[in-house]
Amino acid sequence: MTASATTDGTSTLDGTYTLPAACGFPAEQGTFQGFKDSAKFSSVDTYSGTLQGNPAVVHFASGSAGYGLSAAGSYNGAPFALSGSTTGMSLTLTGTVSGQAVTWFGLYDSTYNTFRIYDSGANLLGDLR
């Protein structure tokens, strides 16, 4: 399959695809369109769980433009503040937690209102609900 896409960087993704004939099926081609999922987070909501086996409480706050993101809370009883960005349902945060520089990647599940948090090596740290 071959596909190409364009976006305006904020909301719309348009593209085309071609699928060559194979195994008795005819070739196929077409277009697709997608839209930015505009998840916004308010610092009012509290998410808690365990990250690396330690208790964590986090408040996420979206920036006014929708792409900036901050996270503040406590990890194993110590306060922290991280900053980063979000696109769609994924996020990246950097900063210091318990004296250690961290980069956290997260996936937000809007159905269950949970975050799944990973470290920079793609190791699962835990879930926040």
Q: Are 89 and 111 in contact (CB under 8 A)?
A: no
Q: Are 101 and 120 in contact (CB under 8 A)?
A: no
Amino acid 99: pLDDT: 92
13-47 pLDDT, tens digit each: 788 999 999 998 999 999 988 766 556 788 788 99
Token pair belonging to 7: 């976006």
Q: What pTM was computed for the model?
A: 0.69
Q: Are 41 and 60 in contact (CB under 8 A)?
A: yes
Residues 63, 99, 102, 110, CA torsion sign? negative
The Cα-based distances of 87 to 9, 62, 78, 124 in angstroms read 10, 11, 28, 20
Domain boundaries in the chain?
Answer: 2-35, 47-128
